[in-house]
Amino acid sequence: MGARRNRQKSANLRLMVAEEAARIIVEHGVRDYLQAKSKAAEKLGVTGRFAMPRNTEIENALRERQALFEGHHHHQRLERLREAALRAMDFFQEFDPRLVGPVLDGTADDHSAVCLHLFADTPEMVALYLHQNRVPFDESARTIRTSRSQSQTFPVFVFEAGGVAMDIMVLPEEVRRQAPLSPVDGRPMQRASAREVAAMLEEPVGIA
């Protein structure tokens, strides 16, 4: 009986932390689930690994929060961001772009950028393309897991187009064949081509 109560207590604490982490993500734009989880646990005074939710639990709480509190506004935002993504993918068509992240999976919030993966022999090709088209950008780097045993760092170009933040990661050809792993569940990352994004926009999204 005691073990059952402890399991239920841990489950309740995980749910509380997941819901608070979801609030932090939506209201403050913290997209690092570990950071959001840590901030939530600190605010709630929760400690212990058994009280820490999995990333998938946080994502579920995020979807529930958006459906409950944002409804139609959330769907309008998704449509606007996916339309911006499609325009960007048309602009970058020679680099075979793929949409990834919150705009694709439906958890985007007001702080979310359109995240694209481009494929090029060198990142300088993308930088030159942006310069030629007079697109000002900032450059950084991000480390992602390319397999369960390996992580790699790739260049990222950040800029704004039509009031929408763009986050463009440039990857080598071999990563086109095998998607990087998702930071949420560790599985191959969901990616969509321009044709797939266009098909998504043709299907009206119902209100949750």
Residue 175 token pair: 């990563």
pLDDT reported for residue 207: 39
The chain-wide mean pLDDT, for the chain, equals: 90
What are residue 100's DSSP bridge partners?
Answer: 115
Averaged pLDDT, 158-163: 96
pLDDT band at 121 (very low <50, low <70, confident <90, very high): very high
pLDDT reported for residue 96: 96
The answer to whether the beta carbons of residues 143 and 151 sit under 8 Å apart is yes
Q: Are strands 164-171 and 150-161 parallel, antiparallel or unpaired?
A: antiparallel
CA atoms within 13 A on the CB side of 140: 8
CA distances from 5 to 26, 157, 190 (A): 32, 49, 37
pLDDT digits (tens, 9 = 90+) for 128-144: 999 999 999 999 999 99
pLDDT band at 2 (very low <50, low <70, confident <90, very high): low
Averaged pLDDT, 148-170: 95
Averaged pLDDT, 7-21: 87
pLDDT at 169 over 60: yes
pLDDT digits (tens, 9 = 90+) for 64-84: 998 888 888 899 999 999 999
pLDDT band at 206 (very low <50, low <70, confident <90, very high): very low
pLDDT digits (tens, 9 = 90+) for 28-44: 888 888 899 899 999 99
Is the pTM higher than 0.75?
yes
**CATH number listed for the domain at residues 72-202:** 3.30.460.10
Percent share of the chain, pLDDT over 70: 95
Averaged pLDDT, 97-110: 94
